[in-house]
Amino acid sequence: MILKIVTAGEPVLRQKARQLTQEEIRSTLIQDLITHMRDTMRDAPGVGLAAPQIGQSLQLTVIEDKEEYQQKMTEAERKQFERTAVPFHAIINPTIELLGPADIIAAEGCLSLPGFMAKVPRARAVRVQCLDEHGEPRTIEASGWYARILQHEIDHLNGRLYIDLMQSESFSTIENYQRHGKK
């Protein structure tokens, strides 16, 4: 089932989402929600989708960066952004630790701000403590583009959007960024 993605201005995007209990995580309701979020993310397509983006104030996000999403990138671009495929997984009740300063600047978009993007500073590496889709504890150490995805999605769970962190002069439509902003 493809869910409706809410856009900027919806109050749920600016609220701190509530944590899920072990019982909730294992429930059919949440397991089905994870499946629907995965299908919605892939349909968009996107590399991450947080529950607030589908109107649910829950500490839950799904992530997947398929190899096919990187096909238009050159090898040099993949190296520059440290971008590699990331298999599908869910992250629940995360805490994030930045493993360095937020000084890596790259363009980001968001399914809740369709048609726009901007340059956003992020940390190169992070450590995330969370529960997986089975309610099991997990520690994720990530760098490069995967670390950026984690920061972006966990921001959603805390009521933040990339526009709160962006270099405002870089805010652009995707079309104009592709024409002018990549330089």
> 73-123 pLDDT, tens per residue?
889 989 988 999 999 999 999 999 999 999 999 999 999 999 999 999 999
- State the pLDDT at residue 182: 62
Architecture (CATH level 2) of domain 11-181: Alpha-Beta Complex (3.90)
What single letter denotes the amino acid at residue 156? Answer: H
- State the pLDDT at residue 183: 54
Considering only the C-alpha atoms of the chain, give the largest distance between any 2 of them, rounded to a whole number of Å: 50
Overall average pLDDT of the 4-33 stretch: 98
In the three-class reduction of DSSP (H, G, I as helix; E, B as strand; rest coil), residue 125 is classed as strand
The residues that are catalytic are 153
- State the pLDDT at residue 179: 86
* Measured distance CA(148)–CA(120) in Å, rounded: 10
What mean pLDDT, rounded, does the chain reach? Answer: 96
* Measured distance CA(164)–CA(3) in Å, rounded: 25
| pTM higher than 0.85 | yes
Q: Percent of the chain beyond pLDDT 90?
A: 89
Q: Which of 14, 51, 60, 59 is nearest to 160 (CA)?
A: 14
